[in-house]
Amino acid sequence: MVGVVSFGAVVRDLAYFIQGDQGPGPGVLLLHSLWGLTSSVKSLADDLAERGYTVLAPDINFGELPETEGAALDHLGQASPDRLASLVLSSAALLHEKSTKGPVGIIGFGMGGSLGLWASVRLHDIVTAAVSFYGSQQIDFAGSNAAYLIHLAETDEFISDDEAAFMEATMGLEDLAVTVERYPGTQHGFGDPDGESFDPGAFDQAWERTVAFLDKTL
């Protein structure tokens, strides 16, 4: 059994927060893809809570649940980067306070994965694990204290092989622990039940790897 815990109107409106019945566990920030804070995302949070984690999934779409990929991409294109960054950073700080106050992990999908990778560097004092499902960052990872698990599709129109290789190499320059997994026959979005590219088999494998990674690093 798990329970949803409410702690303020702003958070209720902009996030889904849940922890197990045993109370606060290690914190996991769950960042959704461009499809928004859907019931599928909340189900993943529930699963993590069942496993003993305290989970905060902020609504980085600010209430929007696009019905088509085109609408989702349009919404993302109009989003304010500063507003997104501020929400992610404040959510991580709140999660740290409401969990065990120990290391925090981040899991992100698509744009959420990209934001999570960025936040792992900005929040190097609390983030020790970051998982990205088909999200990338072309940034300097200097100062990060996180271990990384990167799930990539075999075919991805949004992330080129060169971009993925550059990201991995940049992490390697900082001697960071990086594991990259590719899933044959998949496309960008293979972990999003709300999209047309969802691949249940590949996602189940990636999710179990994700949980094992969190269990090891948090």
Residue 67 lies in a domain: yes
Residue 128 lies in a domain: yes
Residue 148 lies in a domain: yes
**CATH code, 193:** 3.40.50.1820
Residue 122 lies in a domain: yes
Residue 114 lies in a domain: yes
Over the chain (218 residues), the average pLDDT of each successive run of 10 is 39 78 94 92 96 95 68 59 86 94 95 96 97 96 97 96 96 96 97 94 98 97
Asked if 4 and 33 touch (Cβ cutoff 8 Å), the reply is no
| DSSP one-letter code for 37 | S
Cα distance between residue 202 and residue 193, in whole Å:
12
Residue 96 lies in a domain: yes
Residue 5 lies in a domain: no
Q: How many domains does the chain have?
A: 1
Asked if 194 and 40 touch (Cβ cutoff 8 Å), the reply is yes
Cα distance between residue 8 and residue 55, in whole Å:
16
Residue 197 lies in a domain: yes
What pTM, to 2 d.p., does this model score? 0.90
Q: Cβ atoms within 10 A of the Cβ of 212, count? A: 11
Q: Which domain holds residue 176?
A: 19-217
Cα distance between residue 121 and residue 20, in whole Å:
28
pLDDT at residue number 8: 36
pLDDT at residue number 19: 93
Q: Give 183's strand partners.
A: 153
